[in-house]
A = this chain, B = another copy of it.
Amino acid sequence: MDISQQGVARKILWINPVATDLYDAAMAEMFQQVTDPSTAVDVVSFPGIGPTHLEYNCYEMMVMPELMRTIRHAEEQGYDAAVIGCFYDPGLRAARELAKKMVVTAPAEASLRLAATLGDTVSIIVGRRKWIPEMRENVHKYGYADKLSSFKVLEMGVHDFQKDHEDTKHRILSAAEEAVYKDGAEVVILGCTIEFGFYQEVQRHIGVPVLDATIAPLKYAEYLVELRERFGWGHSKIAGYEGPPEHEISDWSLF
């Protein structure tokens, strides 16, 4: 985790909460192109033992302590925002509790809020049917149940997306067409961070906004950081995101 950049106005940490750095470099390169010049983005993952993808909720649970430590460490190191890089938005509530001033966001929340601004209905393109229930829960939780046209299943695992780009693109395009022309979606979300690199071509083809689940939360983080810094609009700490007392954290050597 390198945060040594000087002169930047804001630093964002993108966390791939998995035991592989397979996508870190590609993401970092992409993020450099999409952020403001004064924004520095670091990409970290969790090397060593652990799951290399989070298709299962129990895998998410296994990486939670490392995610919490990363969140806490990030704030100590001066990051202004952290993005939890998984479309299940794992640990988002916890991370917001833990962060004192640092902003935290995640792909589903950021993409859905944006989608609701860009159109009246949205479809989410996922890898496997298995992902749907947890993601639908999030759609409802964030307030967009009435705006959900459908989930479309690609029949691919997380690590399949970047293997054969032509095949992936073809499948996404086909799913997006069904979403838009059959299910009534006005906006499409690529419902996995590892579906990165495809949105432009699909969007050009299908003619409606196709949201990339890495860029959308990163830009949302940039936006939120500025709001917090300039206007003090950070996570409300009075109830749901109230943070734990420091003495407990230190007594229990928690993070």
Contact = CB atoms under 8 A, between A and B. Distances in A.
Interface in A49-105: 49-52, 55-62, 64-65, 67-68, 91, 93-95, 97-98, 105
Nearest to A52: B252
Contact of A129 (B97, B200, B219, B239): B239
For chain A, what secondary structure do more than half of its interface residues adopt (helix, strand, loop), or is it mixed? helix
Q: Which of A50, A67, A94, A234 has most B Cβ within 10 Å?
A: A94
B252 A50 contact: yes
B219 A184 contact: no
Interface in A124-180: 129-130, 132-134, 136-137, 140-147, 180
A58 B97 contact: yes
Interface residues of A, number: 88
A132 B121 CA distance: 11
A49 to B, nearest CB: 6
A244 B141 CA distance: 25
Q: Which of A132, A133, A142, A187 has most B Cβ within 10 Å?
A: A133
A113 interface: yes
Interface string A225-252: 0110011111111111111100010001
Contact of A186 (B51, B133, B231): B133
A199 interface: yes
A241 B207 CA distance: 13
A98 B58 contact: yes
A28 interface: no
A211 interface: yes
A119 to B, nearest CB: 4
A141 B143 contact: no
Nearest to A66: B65
14 contacts: A57-B94, A61-B64, A105-B117, A118-B233, A118-B234, A118-B235, A120-B239, A133-B239, A140-B140, A140-B141, A141-B141, A207-B237, A207-B238, A209-B233
Interface of A: 19, 34, 49-52, 55-62, 64-65, 67-68, 91, 93-95, 97-98, 105, 109, 113-114, 116-121, 129-130, 132-134, 136-137, 140-147, 180, 184, 186-187, 199-200, 203, 207-209, 211-212, 215, 219-220, 223-224, 226-227, 230-244, 248, 252-255
